Amino acid sequence: MSFPKVRVPYLLLLPGFAFLFTFFILPIINLAQTSTQTPIAGGDTGQYEQTLAFGNYIQAFVDNKEQFARSFVYATLATIFALVIAYPLAYAIAFKSGKFKNILLVLVVAPFFTSFLLRTIAWKQILGEEGFVVPGLRSLHIISQQTTLTSTSVAVVAGMTYNFLPFMTLPLYASLERIDPRTIEAAGDLYANGITAFRMVTVPLSLPGVVAGTLLTFIPAAGDYVNAAILGSPNTKMIGNVIESRYFKIVDYPTAAALSFTLMAAILILVTLYIRKAGTEELV
């Protein structure tokens, strides 16, 4: 038996669609329902009934403005730092690494071989009192004897930068590596010195990688809570920590759901504006 040819592409879509429907669409609908529920009068902890309490959203946002703002500030900082670190790294791998290219790429990906949690906990040790960073900075009088690094926003942003660095490096590498070196030579040939050629040709041509890398870093960073939980303090809590606490500790599912939705919407809006601004739709 054979299918008419035209149907085959749709059949191929089926498994993906079924997967997305079951594990994305249905949970999203469920989340939307949950976000407008209210506690059952006289019910036990965690018992909610379906109402249309859209006020949950306002309450959730107003109560957690600070953590929302902090999430986006931290995510933005981590994205900027990751870009500043990853760009030269990706550039060196793409253009200057020669036969070491594959080894360097493996090293970039290597952190993925251990768990996210474990890497973050290792950072806690690195930045801890008995790690080498704090005593080093103290002996150089860069930080005072009383200053610690863990449980600070510095540690949280550093952890996020580190954890999402591969997400920044790989797309940057891919787009830099794709640049025809002759276009850079051509810029030199057309009276552009090294810096101008980099600014006028290399940077614009790597823009798709910059956009992809910053998105791949910013989106998970904005929703991250592991770094803030492990490396932060009560004063560095992000919106992810609030959602986690609402869900697991307070057992306040509607607020947790409303916060999740608000976070998703905020990220979606920011990302859309960013892509518009970057104007790289045709390049991506």
Which residue, 247 or 270, has its beta carbon nearer to other proteins? 247
CB atoms within 10 A of CB 155: 25
Which residue, 49 or 185, has its beta carbon nearer to other proteins? 185
* Least gap, CB of 178 to other proteins (angstroms): 10
* Least gap, CB of 7 to other proteins (angstroms): 33
Which residue, 85 or 137, has its beta carbon nearer to other proteins? 137
Residues forming contacts to other proteins in the complex (CB under 8 A) are 39, 43-47, 67, 114-115, 117-118, 121-122, 124-125, 128-131, 146, 148, 150-151, 180, 182-183, 185-193, 196-197, 200-201, 204-205, 207, 225-226, 229-230, 233-237, 241-242, 244-252, 283
* Least gap, CB of 232 to other proteins (angstroms): 8
- Judge contact between 259 and 59, C-beta under 8 A: no
* Least gap, CB of 43 to other proteins (angstroms): 7
Which residue, 88 or 204, has its beta carbon nearer to other proteins? 204
* Least gap, CB of 181 to other proteins (angstroms): 9
Which residue, 85 or 95, has its beta carbon nearer to other proteins? 95
